[in-house]
Amino acid sequence: MSRKGVGLAAFDRSRLTSASYANHGTALRTTNAQALETQLSVFRSLLQQFSQQHGKEIRSNPSFRAQFARMCTAIGVDFLAASASHEGGGGKGGDSSIWGQLLGRTVNDFYFELAVKVVEVCSKTRGENGGLIDVRKVRELLQLRQENQMGTGQKEGGGLTEDDVLRAVGTLKPLGSAYSIVKVGSKPYIRSVPKELNTDQSAVLEAAQVLGYVSVSMLMVNLKWARARAKTAVEDLVGEGMLWVDKQAGGEWDYWNPGFMMEGQEGVGFGG
């Protein structure tokens, strides 16, 4: 038990104590802040140096780019979100564009340019696939395009990975666009029309993704669905332009995944 001061001096004493606590606190905080600032500026300049030194490699070497992206994620730097919100938000302070500045614009420019190409592919193929396209396919198409361009003199640019495509789609999010990644089965797809798939439709797409096509009776047998349920799901997807009808299969109609049109020759040969 402490003895409480009773006189007027006790007020002074307590005021003094709290003042000195406050002083000490401020001092501690400043040193802390200074230390942090130094650390941050060191880190900043290092990161900047790194991205400047390796900017070319980040652009051209897909595995290096993936490593760099992974490193940024590991240390909590989401360079894409940071720079994208800067573009969209409009002057939310230096805080929002900091990574964009740090990384010398190389990395995010890479992904923004890629995003533009992804959008082109999606809108060009929307008629045939209803706005749902396999990420792998997008990557293949873009890679092909890049190789064709390289034929006409451009030497820069190595490969593209699916990871790059996924990140590029991520950069579109702040624009309030309809572009998003959906999983069909285990595979990521880019959806470029704002449409929710119900679970039945996803199941049908998943089956069509594996087999190339489905029919109502196949769905009835494999998923133990009633005819009406299978028919509804399939017809909905045809209505969305996500499946193509084949009426020449000999009996029942087959419903094909349009992705198989772009696939290698192993996609065909059955049916009929």
Name the residues that contact another protein, by CB under 8 A: 126-128, 130, 213, 238-241, 244-249, 254, 256, 258, 260-265, 267-269, 271-272
State the minimum distance, in angstroms, from the CB of residue 136 to another protein.
Answer: 15
Closest CA to 218 of 173, 167, 270: 270
Closest distance between another protein and the C-beta of residue 128, in Å? 4
Q: How far is CA 222 from CA 82, 180, 198, in A?
A: 46, 29, 18
- The residue among 44 and 136 lying less far from another protein, judged by its C-beta, is 136
* Closer residue to another protein in complex, CB, 186/248: 248
In the complex, the smallest distance separating the C-beta of residue 179 from another protein, rounded to whole angstroms, is 18
Closest CB to another protein among residues 16, 210? 210
Q: Are 172 and 121 in contact (CB under 8 A)?
A: no
Shortest Cβ distance from residue 211 to another protein (Å)?
A: 13
Selection from 118, 86, 90 nearest residue 99 by Cα: 86
Closest CA to 80 of 62, 65, 64: 65
**At its nearest, how many Å lie between another protein and the CB of residue 234?**
11
Tokens, residue 225 = 């669905």
